[in-house]
Structure formats: structure tokens, C-alpha cells
Structure 1
């Protein structure tokens, strides 16, 4: 006769085998920011004082308002002789999205990570002879304890006919992070199946 302990071990082992087979879906969250000062030199760029103004989570309504802050720092310049004409910064640094508890957004860190690859700093020459810059980079980090990856694009204000001289303002930015989470239906089916199996075992033991 099989003991209760042996059957319990078998149930746990079966659960462990079933979990990797569960289907997963990519769940994305989009953060929008505006304003703030982008400053730096060949040692790296730093964004401070930028306001988080919108959050769009997949399957949820858009949340807007003064929701928190977005801040980051890059690694050092790796290509490009000066920042006026654009260049590339090294991976690393920091990237943090913080909520302030407004409109249902949690108070505290929403995303914490760093740049996972080279950060591109691009000069945009406009037809009227004025200029702006874009910063683009990929990210890795954690959101609510889950490992995620993402990308950010930050657009500076029009600098007129002048070029970046060490400090400028951010016109707007967008950061999207993606993490794999179990499908709710899969988790429900897995739980129901294991409960049913456990019931069958209990009935077998008491028969």
C-alpha cells in the first residue's frame, strides 16, 4: 500500500513537472514622462525632475495625472567626439520609475533597472535650422519583484539654432517594459487539476 507521504511527494513532483509546461504571455506596461533636466558630459547623461504623467498597463484603463517621477543615468560616452553631434553611451547606469500614490498608483518604486545595451544619443536637424535630440536605450530590471526588460525613448525640447551645451529640458519620453507572467487561465486550470488529483488520492486512501 502506498503511504500518504509517498503520494504527497508524487503530487508535488507532478506539480513541478506541470508548471514549466504552463503557457506564458508577455504583459507590458507603458510609462510616459514630461519635463525634467537632462544634463551631462562625456562621463554620462542624467535625467532629473521628470514627471510621470501616464501609465498604461495591458488590459487596464489608462491612468493619468501627476503620478510620480522618472530618472536615469547612463554610462560614459563610447563613441562620438562631442555631445553636440550625437554619440553612443555605454550600458549600465540606472533607470528608476517611482509612483507617488496618486490615482491608485502604488507609492514607491515601480521599476528599477539599468541600461542593458548601448544608449544612442541622436541629433535631429530640422528644416528651419533648429535642433533637438533623442535618447534611446534598452533596459533590464525588476518591477514588483519580477524580472523585466524594456526600451525607453526620450525627446528633448527644441534647442533652437544652438546645440546641446551640457544641459537641456525633456519634451517628453516613453518607456515600455515587458515581463513574462503566467496566463491566469493556465494557473486556474493547473490549480483545479491538482485539487482534483488530491481528492482522488484522498478517496483512494480512505476506500
Structure 2
């Protein structure tokens, strides 16, 4: 029997490679690992999202630049009874999330995420590859997420080089998690500072107001 044409064989090889890549992606997708008092539901969907970052190339898809705020929501608009922010940092986990400090963890509660976090932090210059020492922790926001809504999150003092993920509780168990591609890395999470020109203009205005007050009251 004659062998199939080269083009047909090449198409079959490409189809097989595509199928194998799909299987690999499924196999290495993040999974939920129970931690503290939280247990994971079966088949946890990767639909938890963090908004407000700038897209970057890398395993972790976004960087939080020039702001200390972001939002949490679900890709499918589903509600959650509680939202938990989990973090991995290249330095000690300090600071607060919505006014609450981190509770330390010995491991990251999303299986399949640590390698992505390590490579992304190294790629952004926060550590040398591989990041051999990461700090893990979480903050339970004790806040519900409404259907088709979003939750505002404010960071204070959280160090640059911290990867943030959201985990969401439904019916007492973690139901939704964040995939690596939708996680955030803090780069400069300070609130925006007014530009020098703006500050100078404000100063000029204050001086003018002071002059008016002096003339009015004869000071």
C-alpha cells in the first residue's frame, strides 16, 4: 500500500501535537489545595479574575503598576459568599489587604502555580531564577461578591514582587480560583503621586489664597 502524501502525514503530526499540547495544558492547570480552615470543591473552575493590572508577557499575565488598588470579579458573572486573596512574594509578606494583615502559609494553595510565579518574578527582576525562597500567605476579606459585580481591593505596604490570586467561596467551599494568566504581580503599589507641575500649580494657588486673606484682614 503506498504511503500517504507528505502533506497528509504532516497534517496528522500537527494534529497529534495540538492534541498533546491540549492534554498538557489540562494536566498542568492550577488546582485548589485545601488550607487553614478552607476546603476545596471538586472541579474548581479557573474563573476568578483580578482587574486593574497591565498585561505583560509571562506565565503570570498582569502587573499592578502605579496604584495600590485592583478589583476582583468572576469571568462568568457568578456570585461568591467570600473572597480570599492568596499571595506569594519574593520577600517577607508585609502590609495589609483592605486593612487586614496576611496569615502565613507553608505552601501556596494553588497547585501548579509556584513554577509560574517563580519564573515570572525572575523575569521581572524580583529574584534570580529560580526564586528559591518565596513567602506565602492569605487574607480572608470576609466580603461577598455579588452576581455580575466586582469587589474593590486596596493594598497598603505590600512589597513589590508579590503575586496575587483570588479564591472564592461558594456554599462553604472554595469554588473559583485564579489561573496564572489572570494573576497580578505588584510592581509599584503606591497610590499615584501628583506630578511636579501639578504640585507647583497647587502651591502657587495656595500662595495666592494666602495673599488674599492677608489683604482682606490687613495681616
**How high is the TM-score relative to the length of structure 1?**
0.28
**How high is the TM-score relative to the length of structure 2?**
0.27
